Amino acid sequence: MGRMATVEKPHAGYVYVLRPQVLIDGKRIIKIGSTTRSVAERVRELENRSSVAFEAIYSIWVDDARALELQLHARYANHRMVGGSVGFYHLLPEDVIPDIEAIAAGHGGTSFKEAHADKRSAPAKKAGPRRKIAAPRVKASLEIASYIIWFLATMLLGFGAILYAPVEIPREFEVYAVGASLIVAAIVARVILVSAKRLIEICFFSHRFSPAMREKEH
């Protein structure tokens, strides 16, 4: 007897749009997903699994939430965050909400915009502000550290180029040589630092929201 194909049973639930409170490559991103529970509960779950706060922007109740989610993922595949898991996109909420409304009509969709913050439990309300305050502090600390590293790298590269120059620099041109070396070193150090920062951001999201960690989403 041939092997019987299994068909996933439709599950009614919410398809949501969340906005992580973090920048990737200097740009905002959104998360598109689905849940059979409340969106507020899903937000708390994501926040507990990472150091990132999420803002619930929009949700809609449909008869087959998973099918609509997969359809949206395929639709926005070209905007998917590089190195990230499925569900994170370099898009704005206003780019996707009208499409979701239109497509959801074929999935028995009922427009529903939750007052997510009001539906959180009392402990979650207390934890939420602390998390959102902590995120900017961490970001500010990283920015300060990046400028310190950039300054030190500039000094090291600039003066290193002078000390280990293959030719002897005349004394009257030493000031100009130092200035030119520092300018070039500053540019090189900045390019390296920006590339490293972007790589760290991508690796962070790849780890926090990898396919293995998505198994608990539904």
Q: What is the pLDDT along the chain (218 residues), one digit of tens a residue?
A: 444 444 456 788 999 999 988 877 677 889 999 999 999 999 999 888 877 889 999 999 998 899 999 999 999 999 988 766 678 999 999 999 999 998 888 766 554 444 333 333 333 334 444 344 344 555 556 667 777 877 777 777 666 666 666 656 666 666 666 677 777 777 877 777 777 666 666 665 555 555 444 444 44
pLDDT at 54: 92
pLDDT tens-digit readout, 132-143 = 434 455 555 666
pLDDT at 48: 87
Residue 166's identity, in one-letter code, is P
DSSP letters spanning 6-53: P-PPP--EEEEEEEESS-BTTB--EEEEEESS-HHHHHHHHHHHSS--
Beta-bridged to residue 133, according to DSSP, are none
H-assigned helices in the chain: 39-49, 65-75, 93-104, 122-163, 174-208
Beta-bridged to residue 56, according to DSSP, are 18
For 24, half-sphere exposure in the C-beta direction (CA atoms, 13 angstrom radius) is: 23
pLDDT at 42: 92
Would the pTM count as exceeding 0.85? Answer: no
Domain boundaries, the chain: 13-121, 133-206
